[in-house]
A = this chain, B = another copy of it.
């Protein structure tokens, strides 16, 4: 193949891949000559060849453009990742598949891990971000390096104080969401091959972090109303080396319970006794149905063994990717890991949230959200009771925005997940919440979205699928 033919083939290929779309300009002859290190005449030759084939056309005084009749390959939509049914479940693959399927607008988002974003003050947050960016603030990653923007950190610490937990602002480190916070904390306290105690069922973000770090998850029986069983946990601590424990004590995902305060205290004391650090994921605590924000484990921490993680992704916006951690005695190593992992968190976003917390009705906003969640929990529960087969058991969350549903034992939740996807409904199959393929007949459903006829139709459709006999 001659040089000009090869260049023509390469450019044709780039157009087929969609790099240059119909009507867009391709590099000028001079630019292509420089970039590809070919003579002007070789490039000209290639372009004439492409023109003769109808791929590009020249426009006087302007250059060469992709011709309209050449169709670039349509941008492929993110594939709905069908998880195959197998005993070896790759949790993160199912989760990513579920998250991607939620992107499509026409999907019923029962599988979403996020609250309905229409509930959140995006417009207001953006007004702050806009004012900040326009003033030229927040444009250097160096301005708010780890631990993060001081005013945001003060507002975070202050929020804890308002909720009855005194923390020191010097302990707070801003992260890219709770996801990064959990990863950094786990890396600070354990190493590959170590064993980490988790709840069962447990929120898959915990399993992700363990999977990613090459550690082993040890599932501890968990009471659906009160959380991880202390007796079972102590037995595990006595019999093997456990490097860390990971829990959610407030509106645990997927169970929805809140651990009673006395038990929280007892849990911290137990872990102190064995000198085992505990990573606490507390992203849901503001979504209580009761009277006050429940206290985190952190409130009972005396020895700095609680690594507390949280985020604004569930309560303000997932788009800004702003979370935080208070890692107790592991503060310095976690701060260093944050720096090594992503350097900094967007300053503009940090500043915008700090301003919002300073001046806005965060509490008013949260009151509205709590009311919606608490109402929707009842509506969805009632609907499930009406349509799902006998033998179905539904959790009674004390807060948060998910239901954990046990279907009759013969139902295969992975099959249900796949069939539901075909019908335009997403859900969280039980296996996402276990490191050992437990919960084959469980599903998690999100009730944060506006409850309407479509939601009801979605529940009805699920019940048809279940009754049509998805068996194991």
Contact = CB atoms under 8 A, between A and B. Distances in A.
12 contacts: A14-B166, A27-B161, A34-B292, A35-B163, A96-B146, A102-B142, A103-B143, A122-B139, A179-B343, A212-B337, A321-B344, A321-B346
Contact of A166 (B13, B164, B179, B349): B13
Given A17-B168, A103-B145, A126-B133, 18 more contacts: A14-B166, A19-B157, A19-B158, A31-B162, A35-B293, A75-B150, A96-B145, A99-B142, A99-B145, A103-B143, A117-B140, A130-B133, A141-B313, A179-B340, A179-B342, A191-B192, A209-B340, A212-B340
A118 to B, nearest CB: 9
A347 B120 CA distance: 16
A34 B319 contact: no
B346 A96 contact: no
A339 interface: yes
Given A117-B139, A162-B31, A346-B319, A341 B19 contact: no
Contacts of A463: none
Contacts of A164: 32, 35-37
A208 interface: yes
- Per assembly, the copies of the chain total 2
A329 to B, nearest CB: 18
A112 interface: yes
A258 interface: no
A319 B141 contact: yes
A190 to B, nearest CB: 12
Nearest to A137: B319
A122 B136 contact: yes
A260 interface: no
A345 interface: yes
A345 B345 CA distance: 11
A154 interface: yes
A342 B18 CA distance: 28
A180 interface: yes
Contact of A346 (B14, B103, B349): B349
Contacts of A337: 212
Contact of A183 (B18, B35, B313, B341): B341
A320 B341 contact: no
A129 B162 CA distance: 34
The 4 closest A-B pairs by CB, nearest first: A35-B164, A141-B318, A19-B158, A176-B342
Nearest to A345: B321
A177 interface: yes
Interface in A126-185: 126, 129-130, 133-134, 136, 138-143, 145-146, 150, 154, 157-158, 161-164, 166, 168-169, 176-177, 179-180, 183
A99 B349 CA distance: 20
Interface string A294-324: 0000000000000000000100011111000
A45 interface: no
A158 B14 CA distance: 8
Contacts of A239: none
Contact of A342 (B10, B342, B344): B342
A405 B78 CA distance: 49
Contacts of A37: 164, 292
A161 B346 contact: no
A367 to B, nearest CB: 12
B145 A342 contact: no
A34 B291 contact: yes
A261 B145 CA distance: 37
Contact of A180 (B187, B319, B342, B347): B342
A20 B158 contact: yes
A441 B348 CA distance: 38
A122 B136 CA distance: 8
A183 B20 CA distance: 31
A393 interface: no
B340 A211 contact: yes
A243 to B, nearest CB: 14
Contact of A341 (B14, B150, B166, B341): B341
A345 B148 CA distance: 18
B142 A112 contact: yes
Interface string A260-281: 0000000000000000000000
A23 interface: no
Given A92-B340, A163-B35, A142 B103 contact: yes
